[in-house]
Amino acid sequence: MRAPARDAAVTVAGRRPAVRGALLALLAAVLFGASTPLVQRFGIGLGPFTTAALLYAGAALVGALSTRSVDREARLLRSDARRLLAVAASGAVVGPAALAWGLQRASATDVSLLLTLEVVFTALLARALYGESIDRRVAAAMALLVAGAVLLVARGHGAGASAAAGLVAIVVATAAWGLDNALSRALADRDPGQVVMAKAALGALASSLVALLFVEPLPGATAMLGLLAVGATGYGISLRFYLLAQRAFGAARTSSVFAFAPFIGAALAFALGDRSGDVFLVAGGALMLAGIVLHLSERHAHEHVHDALDHEHAHRHDDGHHQHAHPDMPDGAHSHPHAHRPTRHVHAHVPDAHHLHRH
């Protein structure tokens, strides 16, 4: 029989990472959401790959300045190279370029709200790659998100072929970022500064080469500095928070909280003078908001087994899952290779690094 005190400790430990993950994802959402109308404003007259290159050059600078000491975070490994290339290609080249192209043809409000589709792509890929659970509540939430997206695309079609094409490009961007989110889940336990720096530097380099290939116009000083600043905050710092949130409670749930970003972007677009809204925009946004709230109301608990596991990541010794001894016990988070013994217990949990079991 399990000791009640032990179960209580594990239950608290299971809830605390979810709260921490939600707060980190919300911070990431605020920064990224605010970036969308600003990318539209500073990217006027620029090619999509030039815009993407500047955004991720700013993000790379943030990553370089935020790497942690070797005893606090796990380092990137040579075996991570292929995954990093895939993450950079999808999330730092295709995603931002499609966003920039779409923003030049559709309203920032429409684009911001349609970015909510990233949740759907992330959840489906997280299910396929990691076995993260999708219950009836989450499935209903995704249906509401898709319904809202259909309304927005239909509204864009009514506004003309160019606007509709712009919104289709945004769907491509959300699919690319959904793939990025799912693939980067396996990198969430690495030093987030290193991951941001590597992904952003690769993306900025690749986008710059494509921009040169297509002879895209060079940016002026204002556009260049503006996009670098937006990239540093909305893509660099935001990505760091996003990776830490994924570490705490998984890819699908991080994307659910992050889905508030489009509404932040839509609000800022309105504040900056975008008055393109109508009843279809309101209806589509309401469906998407309902889907996000429904997704966030999920609670997941059942008896589960932890197999023996050897890995390395930043961890603490008050979370109910790290019971190994140290000659001199560290006070806070630290990183080193460590082993987990097999165990079976029941508590509310999320698909973090220790709860990737199949359902």
For 156-208, how does the pLDDT look when each residue is reduced to its tens digit (9 = 90+)? 655 677 888 898 999 999 999 999 988 887 787 788 888 888 999 999 999 99
Look at residue 16 and tell me whether its pLDDT is greater than 60: no
Q: Which residue has the higher pLDDT, 111 or 333?
A: 111
Most confident of 13-22, 23-32, 67-76, 265-274: 23-32
> What residue spans of the chain are helical by DSSP H?
4-42, 48-65, 81-89, 95-103, 108-114, 118-130, 136-158, 161-184, 192-213, 221-230, 238-249, 251-258, 261-271, 279-296
User: How are beta strands 309-315 and 343-348 bridged, if at all?
Assistant: unpaired
pLDDT digits (tens, 9 = 90+) for 37-85: 999 999 999 999 999 999 999 999 988 887 655 556 678 888 889 999 9
pLDDT of residue 298: 61
- In the 8-state DSSP scheme, what is residue 336? E
Q: Which residue has the higher pLDDT, 285 or 353?
A: 285
Residue 15 has pLDDT above 70, yes or no: no
With bands split at pLDDT 50, 70 and 90, how would you rate the model's confidence at 12? very low
Q: Give the pLDDT of residue 336.
A: 58
CA distance linking residue 22 with residue 296, whole number of Å: 9
For residue 119, pLDDT beyond 60: yes
Q: Which of 126-135, 231-240, 260-269, 304-313 has the lowest mean pLDDT?
A: 304-313
- Residue 79 tokens read as 């075996």
> For 20-34, 236-250, 300-314, which range has the lowest pLDDT when averaged over its residues?
300-314
Residue 121: count of CB within 10 angstroms of its CB = 21
Nearest to 243 by CA among 115, 138, 352: 352
CB environment 275-307: b (16+ within 10 A), e (fewer):
eebeeebeebbebbbbbbebbbebebeeeeeee
- CB contact at 8 A, 46 and 219: yes
Residues 204, 57: contact at Cβ < 8 Å? yes
Q: How far is CA 265 from CA 33, 34, 76, 193, in A?
A: 4, 5, 32, 25
Which of 77-91, 153-167, 216-230 shows the highest mean pLDDT?
Answer: 216-230
Q: How confident is the model at residue 332 (pLDDT cuts 50, 70, 90)?
A: low
Q: What is the pLDDT of residue 88?
A: 94
More confident residue, 69 or 214: 214
Report how far residue 251's alpha carbon sits from residue 183's, in angstroms, rounded to the nearest whole number: 9
State the chain's mean pLDDT as an integer. 78
Which of the four pLDDT bands, split at 50, 70 and 90, describes residue 1? very low
* pLDDT (0 to 100) of residue 87: 93
- Distance, C-alpha 154 to centroid of its chain: 26
Q: What whole-number percentage of the chain has pLDDT above 70?
A: 70
Q: What is the mean pLDDT of residues 144-161?
A: 74
